[in-house]
Amino acid sequence: MVRVSEIRISVKRKCDLNVLRKKAAKILGVNENDILNVKIARKSIDARKKSDVFYTFSINVYLKSGVNEEKLLKRKNVSDVKEFKYFFKKCYMKKRPVVVGFGPAGFMAALVLARSGVFPIIIEQGKCVDDRIKDVEAFRNRAILNPMSNIQFGEGGAGTFSDGKLTTGIKDFRSRIVIKELVKAGAPEEILYCAKPHIGTDNLVKIVKNIRSEIIALGGEIFFETEMLDFEEENGALKSIVCENADGVFKINTDRLILAIGHSSRKTFDMLYKKNVNIEQKSFSVGVRIEHSQEFINKVQYGDFSKYLPPADYKLFTHLKNGRGVYTFCMCPGGIVVGAASEKGGIVTNGMSFYGRGEKNANSAVLVGITPDDFKSRHPLAGVDFQREIEKRAFICGGRNYSAPVQTVGDFLADRATVISKNKFKGVFPSYLPKVSGGDFKNIFNDEICFSLREGIKVFDKKIRGFADENAVMTAPETRSSSPVRILRNEKYMSSIEGILPCGEGCGYAGGIVSSAVDGIKCAQVILEYGDGDL
């Protein structure tokens, strides 16, 4: 097998494997009959020139025996490639390991442990995904918030109600394992090769259920609507955890615990701090969700070729003179802005898309970098207080009924409040539900954040003309882009309590679905490596 790269195909042209086979044969200088099969290894869109937009492919070409592969490798854009294979080692443990949290880090950790034969126990404070959907809809349609089951908490984690992006900046072979496991669980096969893969919330719902079913079939056990209240230790090592659900308080004896608790697990952060687990402050970001029409984004990114292509995205960053970084995050083409509150009396927003990305608006977070210097306290949980204060102000600004404050970009840049009237919104109508309320973001954010958002939007308008269109709509606030804490761990992935492994985004070691899932695999592998031995 060889890989042929830099195959360019016009986006106007219908392209299938037969077209790619012909291209490969020509590049390799072989007869088409010498090619047994071709598979797409990578597919991307090159839109650097709006007058000439095309797909770029890399393909794996499977050749008949007898073809001189060494000679082919001397050709331009041809390289050697090996099939990616992996397996999970079998292990025996006297005590069953426990995973707390069933988001990407948690379900991948549990899957690895289950495949290895150690029968993990999973604790998840939220509901199974089908019941969780009902809670999310109750909040979106009737402003009824369930603090234990919502967009942040429940089977699949916060990523379940997002765009399901699988792009990541980490360089770890386990990323490929994550993608392959998602496909095995029902994700579209194109995520194996698309340059910007995404699953969509509709597919994620099915995927997490399939992963759960496999874990259970392999002897794993999952407790939904169950909260970890405490843990017990002896001589600095984990002895058991204490949990509670509708049946009451119960104890699980274990000496291996993976904490995959997510970035919004504030009660657990507080418990860990009180138990003297080493926690430190961490930088994160806050800001707003901005919405434009998807038609506008398509046109500005792809020009006249937009009608041949899927909904366009963007990614922007600037470093301001005041030292702040401002950037777009979790851009959702053809998506909606959703209410992501997990505490009563607070407003939080996030973005979500279905796989088809068929909604009228494009939305993205526009975030300002926040450091521990902004917290005005050295307390390890000061970042949580910083987030919570913004969320409370937004709740008050929105009318105390979970309506989210909105401001048009025109009003925000002019430093005037947005007053919603019958004909206020032109071209872009805010997608947040249950309701929106006109507001003034200086009642939510401090002067530094407001200034940084304004300056960042002006810079972005130079990169995407029309980004600062006066009719674009911003909804506030986005505060949960990442965890405000880091639960410290050593080179063996252990916290200050032996046997507790902080894991994933919530504990400060990942950002996004893939990197969180990779960290889950790493923590599971540590447990399997040491088994019942000394850590």
Show Cβ contacts of residue 312 under 8 Å, excluding neighbours closer than 6 positions.
Answer: 47, 294, 297, 298, 300, 301, 302, 306, 333, 362
Q: Does 66 have pLDDT greater than 90?
A: no
Give the helix/strand (H/E) hosting 390. Answer: helix 382-397
Would you give the end-to-end CA distance of the chain in angstroms? Answer: 42
Task: Give CA separation, 448 vs 85, 295, 365, 451, in Å.
Answer: 50, 33, 18, 5
Q: What is the mean pLDDT of residues 400-416?
A: 97
**Rounded CA gap, 106 and 115, in Å?**
14
% pLDDT > 90, the chain: 93
CATH architecture of the domain 98-278+495-530 equals 3-Layer(bba) Sandwich (3.50)
In this predicted structure, what is the pLDDT of residue 530? Answer: 78
Instruction: Give the pLDDT of residue 368.
Output: 98
Task: Write down the pLDDT at residue 306.
Answer: 95
Q: What is the model's pLDDT at position 376?
A: 86
Per-residue pLDDT reduced to its tens digit, 296-315: 999 999 999 999 999 999 99
Residues 433-486 have pLDDT tens digits of 999 999 999 999 999 999 999 999 999 999 999 999 999 999 999 999 999 999
Q: Identify the weakest region by mean pLDDT among 88-97, 108-117, 118-127.
A: 88-97
Give the H/E segment covering residue 62. Answer: strand 54-63
Determine the Cα–Cα distance for residues 301 and 196; give it in Å rounded to an integer: 15
Q: Say which residue, 69 or 281, is predicted with more confidence.
A: 281
Contact in structure between 170 and 181 (CB atoms under 8 Å): no
- Look at residue 533 and tell me whether its pLDDT is greater than 60: no
What is the pLDDT at residue 532?
Answer: 60
Domain boundaries, the chain: 2-80, 98-278+495-530, 283-478
Give residue for tokens 């999970």. Answer: 88
pLDDT, mean of residues 50-74? 92
How distant is the alpha carbon of residue 227 from its chain centre? 23
Task: Identify the CA nearest to 200 among candidates 5, 424, 359, 20.
Answer: 359
129-143 tens-digit pLDDT? 999 999 999 999 999
Query: What is the average pLDDT score of the chain?
Result: 95
The CA-based diameter of the chain, rounded to the nearest angstrom, is: 74
Q: Is residue 355 predicted with pLDDT exceeding 90?
A: yes
| pLDDT band for position 332 (cuts 50, 70, 90) | very high
CATH 3.30.70.2700, applies to 2-80: yes
* Residue in 58, 62, 61, 84 with CA at minimum distance from that of residue 181: 84
pLDDT surpasses 90 at 531: no
> How confident is the model at residue 439, as a pLDDT?
94
- The pLDDT, as a whole number, for residue 534 is 53
Over range 89-116, report the average pLDDT.
96
- Does residue 38 contact residue 24 with C-beta atoms inside 8 Å? yes
SS3 471: coil
Alpha carbon of 388 to those of 43, 384, 385, 398: distances in Å?
Answer: 41, 6, 5, 15
Which regions of 394-468 does DSSP assign to beta strands (E)?
Answer: 404-408, 436-438
- CA dist 535 and 529 (Å) reads 9
The mean per-residue pLDDT over the stretch 360-373 comes to: 98
